[in-house]
Amino acid sequence: MSGTHSLDSFVEAARRDVDEALDRWLPTRPAGPPRLAAAMRYSLFAGGKRFRPVLALAAADAVANAHEDARRLALPAACALEMIHTYSLIHDDLPAMDNDTLRRGRPTAHVVYGEGLAILAGDALLTEAFALLAREPAVDAPAVHGRKLRTIALVSSAAGSSGMVGGQVLDLALERRPPDEDDAASALADVHARKTGALIRAAAGAGALMAGAAEGALAAIDDYATELGLCFQIVDDVLDVEGAAKDLGKTAGKDAVAGKLTYPALYGLEESKRRARACVERAHATLAREGLAGRLPAIATWVLERKK
């Protein structure tokens, strides 16, 4: 692999594959009401980074030794994870949650379609994601069926009450009742391990699992993705302080205005950045321990250095 150019080429190709597959696998008429389909596509094709599906495909490549089936086997899981992530963004932006009007550089779904249809579009994306995981890849092989079942269990745990949804509940509770200073660090870590980290871990794990990774490699990928998820959230918090809305594609500075518990609020900007760098160092070391590489090390560095 040759640095940034190689990663850029990989990401561009992965995003193209994911977008084409999402377009193919999303329900169309007469499967559902046209306005619901439009609302689902409005948010899903709003130009996001596709970070989670790219990570899933990179993990598949890293464990599969360039086996030609790796991407084909991992692609449905990659797309399902993007559908779940998008549903979470639709719901997070609602007035009852973060009450945001800008996402990915344009008006949020509830601003365009109304709250009711936005909620239902999110519900539909979540449900269709699990239908996709169960249906694809349509391979008549017992080993692949077993991987699909493990992937469904992995993703459902990451998305549900013990993962992303649970993290959102904890985040809402922190807004109403901020923790004591002594408990703030553990509360912050718990919220973000669930709300942000769980789905990132599931993305890497699902890609590796569908590509047939051995158990040792799966454990290393999970350790790597745990560090990656923490780094991603710390950088998000830093960007909310330092970034501009035009760069982020969402409203900047909302966390500070709302008095939310964030890494910069708790530790300051410089210490937060140091912690993010330490996450990447540990992520790289974890991969080296199992002899894994591919694009995963470069993805960790990109997460640290990203500006939006």
Segments making up each domain of the chain, as ranges: 3-305
Distance CA 36, CA 44 (A): 12
Please say whether the beta carbons of 280 and 300 come within 8 A: yes
Axis-axis angle for helices 269-289, 296-305 (nearest 10) = 180
The C-alpha atoms of residue 254 and residue 164 are separated, in whole angstroms, by 21
Amino acid at 49: K
**How far apart (Å, rounded) are the C-alpha atoms in residues 284 and 60?**
17
pLDDT per residue as tens, the chain (308 positions): 345 558 999 999 999 999 999 999 998 877 889 999 999 999 999 988 899 999 999 999 999 865 558 899 999 999 999 999 999 999 999 999 988 999 888 999 999 999 999 999 999 999 999 999 999 999 889 999 999 999 999 999 999 999 999 999 998 888 877 777 778 999 999 999 999 999 999 999 999 999 999 999 999 999 999 999 999 999 999 999 987 545 555 555 555 545 678 999 999 999 999 999 999 999 999 999 999 989 999 999 999 999 88
Q: pTM, whole model, 2 decimals?
A: 0.91
CA 29 to chain CA mean position, Å: 28
141's tokens: 């092989």
Report the distance separating Cα 187 and Cα 191, nearest Å. Answer: 6
Q: 166 to each of 8, 129, 172, 247, how far by Cα in Å?
A: 34, 19, 10, 29
pLDDT digits (tens, 9 = 90+) for 159-196: 999 999 999 999 888 887 777 777 899 999 999 999 99
Q: Encoding tokens for residue 308?
A: 């939006």
Residue type, 290: E
**CATH code reported for the domain at 3-305:** 1.10.600.10
